[in-house]
Structure 1
């Protein structure tokens, strides 16, 4: 008796392997390849140490977070110090994966370096998601701070204007009192 083949489920799980890769998959693959280049360039202990040292030097507030420009600058300093060629075109996919929004995003320094050196895409994706949430929160906070700053500036300008108006009114009252005294003196001198 011939064995009957197992039924193939009709769910999308069976077709996932055959599905066409998406743009996110391509970006993740390019980022992983770029992480491999990054890890091989900074594989030596002294280069890792120099990179971390330079990144910590940029972290003046000791937040333990870094921006894209700081990572690029630190990597360039290490390349200059250790005398090796660093082509940022090969590192761009990794940088774009970690920092899609170049100005607003900050990532934890040690976690980002660990994910890059280990080529751990799951950790990198988690860092990216955390940075996206933090970036949105920072944008809202920045907008609120700007609004409060504008309100405080408007209040300060209004207080300054009120102070100027009060000083002008005081000068006018003093001039009026002086004119009244002079008028009284003239009348008394005429009598």
Structure 2
């Protein structure tokens, strides 16, 4: 068990942090949602109903959407672009890695997909999260329309609504900014023991971890 925890400690701690944050989001969100319903003289909902509500689904997946977009873009961009001196980049003067050759599979298509499987998987998770955010945001908008006695939105018409894109872009911009900050700060700053940092004694001009 000790070896299992040691070998998987990073994933375990991150997932525990995720679950604690998710529970906090649910508890706070349920209270906020019921307060909003009370302001409109509507009956509050229980936990199960809240988890099915458009407000919760939209809030959950608009964040997942931005995170998977960030990671997909990061994986793909770092395969094509460089930042000299950054731990997050390959060396522009020596970009090839010895173990990057594709395995000798018989199918060229299989080799192509395997060689890009991480970026494709993250892009697929982004698309699924985007669709779930769209569904949840639409449901939330129609719940709000019902409370205010206004017409409901159709799914396609809602794609043109500024509110939906505001929800996405407010998260996307922060993800790209934080990634750019990490790339640039890793040129000059260090964190001992982290693979996201160059070794402490490395020069600022050295590129790669």
Max Rg structure: 1
Common topology (TM > 0.5): no
Q: Which TM bucket (shorter chain)? A: under 0.3
